[in-house]
């Protein structure tokens, strides 16, 4: 601080009536103010969590079991009366929305109305002689992360010669206990096929499974010899965080009359289903590669050859692979190591998508079948990664090539592409300009719809010379007609609040707390801000 600033603070009559600076009083005031700032900032972040997602187009939302959301989110699989009446009961909301969007000349809208269970135009049919073709199968799984991101297995496929190929993907039907729901069976699945040209980094989109027959999505066509990548995809409209807390935690272990530790029947059934999911080739055994996908998912580490040798010596194996019984005993050993404490077992179960009632709610196992008429395809799981990166590029390319395009009025460099199939609608925003673009999207007028972002109004930021997936939309209730009405607009740029000398700088709610607590003039206010690391912008004055 300069001498003039110190003198100005000391001479403030409303703070230092005797002309002396009360350092102890100031320190107490500073600490109290700092605590209040932190408290207010945390409260504001909690209340504005949905607002933050609107501004940044993020998928992140806190789990309701840990932190209640200020606005309850309807389940994507339960059609509620309030959702059915969304379109007809908007009232003033619809009028205000239309009035707001009309203010912006740079806007574009899409409206798509779909009938109940509409799949007339995209019916998947098997090739006539497919039963005579050679077939290979592999399983995998989509997993929902804490931040809402989805990860899944990814595969490489080798085709030895040019041939006709028939590919399908569908949710894996597990032997659930009677009375337990199977929510993952309603999750949409798709498979994108990309060809390696010169390297794995240079992938060319060949096709994707856009035809459907009930829960099966498939594609039929000719492929040249070479290496291909199979990247599974789900929109995220139905695989998402649920808001219902589990009333009672399932029991995993118990002790018999001799005091020995045993796994409950319900837990054994769940472990059997997990074994079914991680046994990717379906041979009833776990190889080291298959087991390592499980280890990476549940612990973040791999099992090396030496550890696998110890595992084979102590647990039931066949052909150097772990049997189902050996997998059960391995989990029982883990429970014994913790003397019956189930916390580590629950870490494994949560990582695999199970809730406290042992219901599979945050994962979707699937199965891929590949048929070829002239050679036997080879397929191998090679990664478990987020459904982004190459997949995002593939989705954008497919929508740009197959979707309907509309240029945003008054802004010819912003193009909204919309791809519609009978099951979902995908929108991609293309920005051809040299500047980033922030596009606002509203689905307020949609009916019987759910989107992957969980918001009716949000915004996305599109980088220069790029394209990005804006949203996926699906019906809440496939048994009823659904209508997607998406309105996109680009608001005018906000003027800089520090563009000219003397511009008023309105304090944020957190800074306002500091000012109110301090009860001092502008000079001391600037000093407090500098101490807190929140200095005023240049050429600005304090808003009174």
Q: Tell me which DSSP letter residue 519 carries.
A: -
Q: Please tell me whether residue 160 adopts helix, strand or coil conformation.
A: coil
Pairing of strands 540-542, 503-505: parallel
Report the distance separating Cα 356 and Cα 350, nearest Å: 8
496-532 pLDDT, tens digit each: 333 333 333 334 334 444 344 444 444 444 444 444 4
Beta carbons of 351 and 298 less than 8 angstroms apart? yes
Residue with tokens 């390696």: 196
What is the number of other CB atoms lying within 10 angstroms of the CB of residue 407?
14
Instruction: Give the per-residue pLDDT at 45.
Output: 64
Residues of the chain with pLDDT under 50: 50, 54-55, 57-95, 97-98, 100-102, 104-105, 120-121, 494-544
Question: Across-strand partners of 216?
Answer: 213
Q: Please tell me whether residue 296 adopts helix, strand or coil conformation.
A: helix
Q: What are phi and psi of 265, to 5 degrees?
A: -65, -40
Instruction: Give the per-residue pLDDT at 109.
Output: 86
What is the number of other CB atoms lying within 10 angstroms of the CB of residue 404?
12
């Amino acid at each position: 601080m300069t001498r003039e600033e110190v003198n100005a603070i000391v001479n403030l009559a409303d703070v230092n009536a005797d002309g002396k600076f009360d350092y102890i009083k100031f320190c107490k005031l500073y600490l109290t103010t700092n605590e209040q700032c932190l408290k207010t900032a945390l409260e504001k972040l909690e209340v504005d969590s949905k607002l933050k997602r609107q501004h940044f187009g993020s998928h992140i939302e806190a789990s309701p079991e840990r932190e209640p959301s200020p606005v309850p989110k309807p389940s994507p699989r339960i059609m509620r009366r309030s959702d059915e009446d969304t379109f007809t009961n908007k009232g003033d909301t619809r009028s205000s929305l239309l009035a707001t969007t009309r203010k912006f000349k740079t806007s574009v809208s899409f409206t798509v109305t779909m009938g109940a269970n509409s799949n007339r135009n995209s019916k998947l049919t098997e090739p006539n002689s497919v039963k005579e073709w050679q077939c290979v199968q592999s399983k995998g799984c989509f997993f929902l992360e804490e931040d809402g991101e989805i990860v899944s297995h990814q595969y490489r496929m080798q085709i030895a010669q040019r041939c006709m190929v028939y590919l399908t993907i569908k949710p894996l039907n597990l032997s659930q206990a009677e009375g337990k729901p199977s929510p993952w069976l309603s999750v949409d699945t798709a498979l994108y096929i990309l060809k390696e040209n010169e390297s794995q980094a240079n992938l060319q989109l060949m096709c994707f499974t856009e035809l459907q027959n009930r829960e099966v999505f498939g594609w039929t066509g000719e492929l040249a010899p070479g290496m291909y990548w199979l990247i599974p995809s789900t929109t995220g409209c139905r695989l998402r965080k649920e808001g219902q807390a589990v009333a009672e935690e399932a029991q995993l272990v118990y002790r018999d009359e001799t005091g020995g530790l045993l796994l409950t029947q319900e837990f054994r059934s769940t472990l059997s289903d997990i074994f079914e999911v991680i046994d990717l080739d379906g041979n009833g055994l776990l190889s080291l590669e298959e087991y390592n996908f499980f280890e990476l998912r549940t612990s973040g580490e791999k099992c090396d050859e030496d550890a696998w040798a110890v595992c084979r010596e102590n647990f039931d194996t066949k052909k150097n692979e772990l049997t189902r019984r050996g997998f059960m005993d391995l989990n029982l050993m883990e429970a014994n190591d913790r003397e019956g404490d189930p916390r580590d077992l629950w870490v494994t179960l949560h990582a695999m998508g199970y809730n406290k009632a042992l219901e599979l709610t945050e994962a979707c196992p699937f199965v891929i079948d590949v048929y070829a008429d002239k050679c036997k395809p080879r397929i191998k799981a090679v990664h478990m990664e987020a459904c982004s990166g190459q997949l995002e590029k593939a989705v954008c390319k497919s929508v740009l090539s197959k979707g309907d395009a509309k240029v945003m009025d008054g802004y010819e460099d912003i193009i909204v592409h919309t791809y519609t199939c009978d099951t979902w609608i995908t929108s991609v925003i293309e920005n051809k300009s040299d500047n980033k673009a922030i596009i606002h999207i509203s689905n307020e007028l949609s009916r019987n719809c759910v989107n992957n972002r969980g918001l009716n109004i949000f915004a996305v930021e599109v980088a220069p010379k790029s394209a990005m997936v804006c949203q996926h939309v699906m019906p809440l209730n496939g048994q009823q007609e659904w209508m997607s009405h998406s309105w996109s607009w680009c608001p005018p740029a906000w003027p800089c609040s520090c563009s000219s000398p003397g511009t008023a700088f309105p304090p944020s709610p957190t800074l306002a707390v500091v000012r109110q607590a301090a009860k001092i003039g502008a000079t001391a206010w600037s000093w407090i801000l500098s101490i807190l690391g929140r200095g005023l912008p240049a050429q600005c004055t304090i808003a009174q």
